[in-house]
């Protein structure tokens, strides 16, 4: 049996994660997807009766593709997830519009009979999603969450209780578990307020929506890069790669009012945070906002790129994202431009940068972080 064959009660499908290669044998689905679909089948869910179905955080489209006959909607905070869904639809010769994608900074637009939620990594995203969901369900909506036991915190179940209504969980099976919630319209529903915080040493304020990196205060790595940021007076364009709430680009824009700013992130809520942060500070720099996987969807070249790449200790996926960002930065940097990276010092990114840039140097370091500068992009 091929290892990309996803067998479900609703059919068999070939699925791959977005960045599939033999050294990264990540599957495009997990045991929680299996349990969610099995649960629907056991309850007699029939795709041909078109139950209005919303799928939340469907990573690479496994749920959407299995349930495509019901024409589900898929609500997600990841551009890469949208790309993975589109590629997997093509892989299975399914029409692109049989699953309708809704980016997380927009609200779903219907009342649903069935909502399946892959539990997200951050509590703030779950809280945001459950609060919004209250306007899109009725008392008989089937609401089922699913997740791997090791990532399912008690606080997640408590959020379902608090925001949706009475909740219970299934027994664990294949290291995954389901969460069943019954909507109680009488519960008070208050949307979580966006978090605001300052960039120390400046008059600048940032807006952090749900799911955005460094929730309560400026990340110490980001802060170190801002403190050490060289003069960018010659830069006509500055790009904040993996912008989160836009801290790096907004600070650089404040220091360099001549520069056009570009903000890019895989998270729709991050790009929306950057947009709101820029507006809050009334900076007059021309600015462009892009959701994308690295710079794959970005056109053009810029004079400076600032980046605090995603990483998670011991997590191979994240250092691969950083490696792709270095490749993309080299492709989109002007020949005289510079790419600035802040990273935990143990990550040792210099050798990787040297495969993409002819000139790489250590600009600053402290006990925890290094700031690297890379220029003269090569073709490698
Ligand atoms: C360490 S955070 C830095 C955020 C912000 N620049 C800061 O310094 O506060 C890394 C950011 O990269 C984004 N990211 C992760 N994978 C990405 C991808 N494939 N393409 C673009 N951005 C990505 C995350 O959403 C996150 O906002």
Domains of the chain: 5-181 (3.40.50.150), 195-377 (3.40.50.150)
321 C-alpha to ligand 1 centroid (Å): 9
pLDDT at 319: 81
Mark out the alpha helices in 92-246 (DSSP H runs). Answer: 123-133, 154-163, 220-228
* The predicted structure's pLDDT at residue 189: 79
Could you give the CA distance from residue 345 to residue 343 in angstroms, rounded to a whole number?
6
Q: What is the 12 CA–ligand 1 centroid distance (Å)? A: 34
Of residues 80, 7, 126, 57, the one with CA closest to residue 293:
80
Alpha helix ranges (H) inside the chain: 31-42, 62-66, 79-91, 123-133, 154-163, 220-228, 247-255, 268-280, 316-332, 350-354
Query: What pLDDT shows up at residue 331?
Result: 98
pLDDT tens series, the chain, 380 aa: 568 999 999 999 999 999 876 665 578 999 999 999 999 999 999 989 999 999 999 999 999 999 999 999 999 999 999 999 999 999 999 999 999 999 999 999 999 999 999 999 999 999 999 999 999 999 999 999 999 999 999 999 999 999 999 999 999 999 999 999 999 999 997 888 899 999 999 999 999 999 999 999 999 999 999 999 999 999 999 999 999 999 999 999 999 999 999 999 999 999 999 999 999 999 999 999 999 999 999 999 999 999 999 976 445 566 889 999 999 999 999 999 999 999 999 988 999 999 999 999 999 999 999 999 999 999 65
Please give the pLDDT value at position 22. Answer: 61
Closest ligand 1 atom, residue 240 Cα: 6
DSSP 1: -
pLDDT score of 314: 44
Which mutation among 197, 225, 265, 339 tests ligand 1's pocket best, with the greatest number of atoms within 8 A of CB? Answer: 265
Residue nearest to atom 19 of ligand 1 (CA): 293
CB-defined site of ligand 1, < 6 Å: 80, 213-214, 219, 222, 242-244, 247-248, 265-267, 270, 293-294, 308, 310, 321
Between the alpha carbon of residue 370 and those of residues 56, 241, 351, the distances in Å are 37, 17, 14
The whole-angstrom separation of Cα 18 and Cα 112 is 28
Q: Where are the beta strands (DSSP E) in 104-193?
A: 112-118, 137-148, 167-169, 176-181
Q: 229: which DSSP letter? A: P
Structure tokens at 179: 């969460």
Q: So what's the pLDDT on residue 316?
A: 54
How far, in Å, is the centroid of ligand 1 from the Cα of 242? 3
Residue 318 pLDDT: 67
CB count within 10 Å of CB 27 equals: 17
Between the CA of 347 and the centroid of ligand 1 the distance, in Å, is 16
Alpha-carbon gap, residue 259 to 288, rounded angstroms: 12
| Minimum CA distance residue for ligand 1 atom 4 | 244
CA of 266 relative to ligand 1 center, distance in Å: 7
What pLDDT shows up at residue 317? 60
d(CA 139, CA 2): 41
Atom of ligand 1 nearest to the CA of 294: 20
Q: Residue 8 to residues 2, 11, 40: CA-CA distances in angstroms?
A: 15, 5, 11
Encode 329-376 in three state secondary structure: HHHHEEEEEEEEEEEEHHHCCHHHHHCCEEEEEEEEECCCEEEEEEEE
């Amino acid at each position: 049996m091929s290892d990309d064959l996803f067998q479900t009660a609703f059919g068999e499908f070939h699925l791959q994660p977005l960045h599939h290669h033999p050294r990264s044998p990540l599957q495009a689905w997990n045991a929680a997807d299996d349990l969610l679909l099995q649960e629907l089948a056991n309850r007699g869910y029939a795709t041909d009766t078109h139950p209005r179905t919303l799928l939340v955080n469907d990573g690479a489209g496994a749920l959407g593709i299995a349930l495509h006959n019901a024409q589900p909607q898929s609500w997600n905070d990841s551009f890469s997830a949208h790309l993975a869904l589109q590629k997997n639809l093509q892989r299975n010769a399914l029409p692109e519009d049989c699953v309708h994608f809704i980016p997380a900074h927009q609200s779903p637009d219907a009342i649903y009979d069935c909502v399946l939620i892959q539990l997200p990594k951050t509590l703030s995203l779950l809280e945001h999603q459950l609060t919004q969901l209250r306007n899109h369900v009725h008392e008989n909506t089937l609401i089922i969450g699913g997740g791997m036991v090791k990532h399912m915190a008690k606080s997640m179940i408590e959020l379902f209780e608090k925001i949706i209504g009475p909740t219970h969980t299934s027994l664990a099976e294949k290291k995954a578990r389901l969460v069943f919630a019954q909507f109680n319209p009488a519960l008070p529903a208050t949307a979580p307020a966006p978090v605001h915080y300052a960039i120390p040493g400046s008059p600048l304020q940032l807006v952090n929506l749900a799911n955005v990196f460094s929730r309560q205060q400026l990340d110490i790595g980001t802060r170190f890069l801002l403190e050490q940021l060289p003069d960018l007076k010659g830069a006509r364009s500055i790009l904040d790669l993996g912008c989160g709430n836009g801290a790096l680009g907004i600070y650089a824009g404040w220091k360099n009012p001549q520069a056009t700013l570009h903000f890019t992130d895989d998270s729709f809520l991050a790009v929306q945070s950057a947009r709101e942060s820029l507006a809050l500070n009334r900076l007059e720099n021309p600015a462009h906002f892009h959701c994308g996987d690295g710079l794959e969807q970005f056109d053009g070249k810029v004079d400076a790129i600032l980046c605090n790449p995603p990483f998670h200790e011991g997590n191979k996926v994240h250092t691969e994202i950083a490696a792709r960002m270095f490749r993309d930065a080299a492709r989109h940097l002007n020949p005289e431009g510079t790419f600035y990276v802040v990273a935990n010092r143990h990550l040792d990114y210099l050798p990787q940068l040297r495969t993409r840039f002819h000139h790489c140097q250590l600009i600053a370091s402290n006990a925890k972080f290094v700031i690297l500068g890379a220029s003269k992009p090569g073709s490698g």
